[in-house]
Each structure stands twice: as C-alpha cells, then as structure tokens.
A and B are shown apart, each in its own frame.
Chain A
Amino acid sequence: MSGFLALLRRDLMLAVREGSALGTALGFYLMVVAMLPLGLGPDLKLLSRIAPGVLWIALLLAALLSLPRMFEADHEDGSLEVMATAPLPLELAVAAKALAHWISTGIPLALMAPILGLMLNLELALTPALVATMLAGTPAVSFLGSIGAALTLKARRGGLLLALLVLPLYVPTLIFGISTIGFASVGQDGFAASLLVLMAVSVASIAVAPVAAAAALRLQVS
C-alpha cells in the first residue's frame, strides 16, 4: 500500500511542478465556453437552457486533452518498465495514476465550472447540483480514460485515436450527469437517485478500468 501512496504523491508533485497539463485543460475549458456565446448570440434564455450540457461536454473534451500524458512520461523515461517489476501490481499502479489525474485535473475542472456557468447565464440555484454531478462523474472520466491512454501509448499522434476510443465510454456519465441536473432544475425527487447512478458509473469504472489498462500496459512494455 505504501507503493500506491508513493506513486500517488509523486504524480501529484509532478502535476504541480509541470503544471502545463492542468493549465492546458483549464485554458481549453475556458476558451470553449467563452466562444460559445459569441457563436450563438446573446440569447440569455437559450444560453441558460443549454448551459449544463455545454459545461459537461466542454469538461469532457478538456479532460481528454490531458489524458495522453497519463502514461507517456513514464513510458518515455523508462519508469514504466521499472514499475512492472515492483511489488505493487500494475493494476494498482494504474489506479494510483488515474486517481492522481482525477485530483489534478478532474477536480479543478469541476470547480471551475460554476465560474464558467456565469458566462452562460446558468441559474445560480443549479450551481451546487452542477458541481456535485461533476465531482461524482469525473472519476469515471479519469479511470475510463486510463484505458485509452494505455492502449494508445505507442501510437504516433495517438490523441485523436484516444478520443475515438474513450468518448463513447463517457456516454453514460454524460447522460446521467445531465439528467441529474435536469431533476435538480425542476425540483423532482429523482435527483438523489440519478446522482447515485452517476456515482455507480464512476465506481464501476474504478473497479474495471485499472484491470483493462494494466493489461494494455503489459502489452506496451513487451
């Protein structure tokens, strides 16, 4: 277990020192959301209605940008091979790295959403629900993303391939994320149930994705 924490700590420290991954993701998120009202015109009602969906989709795309780096650096400098000889199973190493990705990218993106919501005239009353769905849903984004990152590790310019592989896997998270906000906006009882399904998607991803990603990494190392 100390290996898991050591890897988590190292990856978070590297994320802070390198900084570029988070900066790119946050900057991309800001740009996409800021350009939308320019494209659609200043129709406040329209913006307000589509705000949750836009914020969610832009968040997925922004997170996608930072996914290729998840294993790339460790592969390039040879750390990945050394990790394959550690007492910690590669599955748990993947889990530690995906968790570090969630903490260093998923959480900051989710926390940035309410600020961007202001630009889209998102109802203030919906902001807590929006952040709650994003915090509940983004673990799935990082963990499912680890599968794509592991599969495309050696592919030249694998970023596009990664998007094609991973975006379909994000559909359940997106559907339940949006429906949860929908329940919150009309004040129905379904909010809690929908949020729980969203969490279940994340929990299932946490359970399944490391196994798949570790299998892909073993192939990449050989």
Chain B
Amino acid sequence: MQLHADNLTVERGTRTVIANLTFTANAGEALLLTGPNGAGKTTLIRTIAGFIAPLSGKIALKGDVGDRNISELCHYVGHLTGVKANLTAEQNLAFWAEYLGGKESRAIAERVDDALDAFGLLALADYPAGLLSAGQKRRLGLARLMVAERPIWLLDEPTVSLDAASTTLLAGLIQRHIANQGLVIAATHLPLGLEQPSYLCLGSAAPATDGPREGAAP
C-alpha cells in the first residue's frame, strides 16, 4: 500500500496553506510532519482524511485496498478527543469499537479491554470520562487506534498533554503498527523517539507568520 499526494494545493479561506506539495508514503513507514505553527500540518492531515477538498491535485492510494477510500482506511486523531463526558471510559471505547470496526476477528469487549490496558486506563474503565484528567482523556482518545484495525493512522499533535511514559508508550504502538505494514502520518513538534521516521517539513517556502493561524475558521 502506498499513499501518494500529487501536486496538492489546499486553500483555507483565501490563504493558500499548502502549495504544489508532492510526496509519497509507503506502508511500514512513519511520516512525521514538521514545521512552524501555521505551516499547514493540520490542514494536510485533514485533507488526507477527506474532510477538506483540495483546490487542485489529488491524494491517491495504490495497492491492495479494494474499493475503500482513505477515509474508511484511516484513524483520525485530532486536537479533540471524541470522548463523551457522560459515558464511562469503557462505554466510550466500546462505542467506537462497534462504530469504526470492520471485520475484526476478536470480540468488542476483548478489543476494548486490550486498548484500555495498553493505555493504562483499565483501573478507570468504569469512571465517567468527564472525571478524567486532560492527559487521561487524550489517552482514551488515542486508545481508539487499537479498537478498530485500520492501516493508516493520521495523528495531529498526538503527544499534547501526554506525560513522558505515555509518549513512550505511544511511540511503541506506532512502532508496532509500522512493523505490521501500517502507515502513520503524524504532525508533531517533538521527536517521538521512533526508530527510523521520515520527515516532511512544511511551510519552509512561504512565511508562516502572516495571515490567519492554522486551523482558524475561514
């Protein structure tokens, strides 16, 4: 499987955030997006996820993916965690396991337990998610990666509010995912401690200081 972006141009409002970007990411690769604030990291990830239509150019998948598009093959973990305050941690994950799941062989309860365990949330499984700390909520949001099997992970600043131990844990999961021929595209300011990541530096050509900030509504 290979993700190929060809001559991609994306506008937010009237500002061209990404101009004529071409890159290729292969299965088994971790691609880290770097660049200053406003360089278009979030925009690029949201474009790959299919939320934003590019002005020109296209993103295509090559390889054995059937008729599914990138949206259905990716996990998107953005700035918001997608966690419901009034459901317990376990109910939150069980919902996503059922809602995002495809043809996983293991039962939902088993997948949820494993994901909670991996992120150290097993003891908090029956707590309402609204009572969790910011870092715990973020871990619960990331635990979604493990309850449904999807080859592409799109992570937007996944380490925000995570402590050092959780960051190492996340790096381990990313490493395992790419060892299983997954593809990870992550926007980050920190080196995640991955073994051999590729880098894509955005915004080096255009000054990033003028115009609205990244992610601002048009």
B217: interface (CB < 8 Å):
yes
Contact in complex: B80, A6 (CB < 8 Å): no
Looking at the assembled complex, report how far the CB atom of A88 sits from the nearest CB atom of chain B, in whole angstroms: 7
A1-29 at interface with B (beta carbon < 8 Å): 2-3, 6-7, 10, 13-14, 17-18
**Docked-complex contact B99 and A6, CB < 8 angstroms:** yes
B82 touches A3 (CB 8 A): no
Contact mask for chain B residues 54-82; partner A; CB cutoff 8 A; 1 contact, 0 none: 00000000000000000110111011111
The residue from A2, A82, A85, A222 contacting B72, defined by CB atoms under 8 A apart: A85
A3 to B99, Cβ gap below 8 A? yes
A40 at the interface (CB under 8 A from B): no
A87 touches B102 (CB 8 A): yes
- In the assembled complex, A42 has its CB within 8 A of some CB on chain B: no
Partner-contacting stretch, out of B24-32, B45-53, B117-125, B202-210: B45-53
Assembly CA distance A86 to B50 (angstroms): 12
Any chain A CB within 8 A of the CB of B87? Answer: yes
Q: Mark A200-222, 1 if CB is under 8 A from B, else 0.
A: 00000000000000000000011
- Residue interface bits A48-91, CB-to-B below 8 A is 1, else 0: 00000000000000000000000001001111011111111000
B218 CB, nearest partner CB in chain A, Å: 9
A87–B81 touching, CB < 8 Å: no
Contact (Cβ within 8 A) B84 A78: no
Query: Chain A's interface: helix, strand, loop or mixed, by majority?
Result: helix
In the complex where A14-B84, A82-B144 touch, is A222 in contact with B100 (Cβ < 8 A)? no
Chain A residue with the shortest CB-CB distance to B46: A222
Check if A154 is an interface residue, CB within 8 A of chain B.
yes
A10 CA to B96 CA in the complex, in Å? 10
A18, A82, A87 — most chain B CB neighbours (10 Å): A82
* B110 within 8 A of partner (CB): no
Q: Which residues of A contact B81 (CB under 8 A)?
A: 77-78
Chain A's nearest CB lies how many Å from the CB of B100?
Answer: 5
Near B by CB (< 8 A), chain A positions 69-121 give 73, 76-79, 81-88
Q: Does B86 sit within 8 A of A, measured CB to CB?
A: yes
14 new A-B contacts at CB < 8 Å, known A10-B91, A18-B86, A79-B84 = A13-B87, A14-B84, A17-B86, A76-B80, A77-B83, A77-B84, A81-B51, A81-B82, A82-B76, A84-B51, A84-B71, A85-B49, A86-B72, A87-B100
Footprint of A on B, CB under 8 Å?
Answer: 46, 49-53, 71-72, 74-76, 78-87, 91, 95-96, 98-102, 141, 144, 217
Minimum-distance CB pairs A-B, first 5: A78-B80, A6-B98, A17-B86, A78-B82, A79-B82
